[in-house]
Amino acid sequence: MDEHTLAEVERAGTQFNAVTAMTVDRANALTAESVERRDSGQPPRRLEGIPFAIKDVIDLVGYPTTMGSNVRSDAPAANSAPVVDRLEAAGAIPVAKTNCQEYSYGILGDESAFGRVVNPVDAALCTAGSSSGSAALVAAGVVQLALGTDTAGSVRVPAACQGVLGFKPTFGVVPVDGVFPLSQSFDTVGLFASDLGVLTAAFDVIAGAGSGDGRGSSAHTIDVSLFADDGDRARDLLKSVPELTITSANGPALDELLDDLAPIYDYIRLYEAFEVHRDLFAERAADYQPGVAKKVEAGRGLEQAEYRTQLDALAELRERSLSVFGGTDLLLTPAIDGPVVRWDEIDSGTAAKFMRYSMPFNVLGWPALTIPLPGAGAGEGPQAVQLVGRPGSDRDLLAFASRLG
């Protein structure tokens, strides 16, 4: 990795409070390996030389994983997470660990031991979280690619607030080993990128072999259901795809499904997060960020029997959702409910608005891509839509997105 790129990442990391550690030693070692491969005549790998950033809940060998928290060990990770290994094996170069909401627990991105990340689009605007630093480095233009995690929108919502692409794959397609968990029933490693081609290549790499091939949806009439119309600019995205049928996804069956989502998500997430933090929290509750501590505490006393009941309800809901959406290929939704809010405008309802259109697809486990919209007016802030596919249709979704205007 050239010194200029590393200097630019460090500069942006400081300017936007987006970096917890520069990974210069690792970057230099892998750059030397890349140069040696080139000089020996080996063909370039799929992501050769592309710098990427890593949310600091994901292990990178030789560097601490801070989780954005004072409640941590500063011992370096003994191994990298498989997603990192796979990107490196494809030639990508890790350049930084990124600041995030403490332990990924919160959609606003307002609580980290390192302070909150600054939005490169407008410092007055909320970054969202939890993967705020990864989004910021892509938004600042210093990396093309970054890793985040998404449990209720923690990749897609920061992508919407900071004007970049953000992708949550189908639940279970990408390994989460070496990633500190929030709620294992919903946790997904996701990607930020400035270019859809890079994002698609990176998804292929981290999903690995056997993750399913696209069915070639471009070869037949595509049905896209609009789950709330996001205006003319959203519809303009679809004009470049002629073989398109647009229908409305609003209806009693969908409304009933969405009504059933939130309580299942809330119980399972609260229970699982408390179990993850039980021992740490018992010893160091006072060292957590205040809002995160309240969230962890909210899971205390939940019953295992009810948790198992909710897991059964989740499995039933995921099965039922297939019949509700079975007649359509893709959904197009707003990315968030309303505009990107300013930090000083956050109120008790902001988190719910941020998660309104993202959390349901963590519950269902479906792949979803945040796509920034061009042409926002002065003072409007970033605007984005979310493209959602059926489970396992990740490659079809990304292929369709590549055709949008």
Which tokens belong to 323? 């019949």
CA distance 230 to 384: 9
Phi and psi, residue 55, nearest 5° = -55, 135
Residue type, 183: S
Which tokens belong to 171? 């639940």
CA distance 207 to 255: 32
Residues found in the chain: 405
Give me the active site residues, please.
55, 130, 154
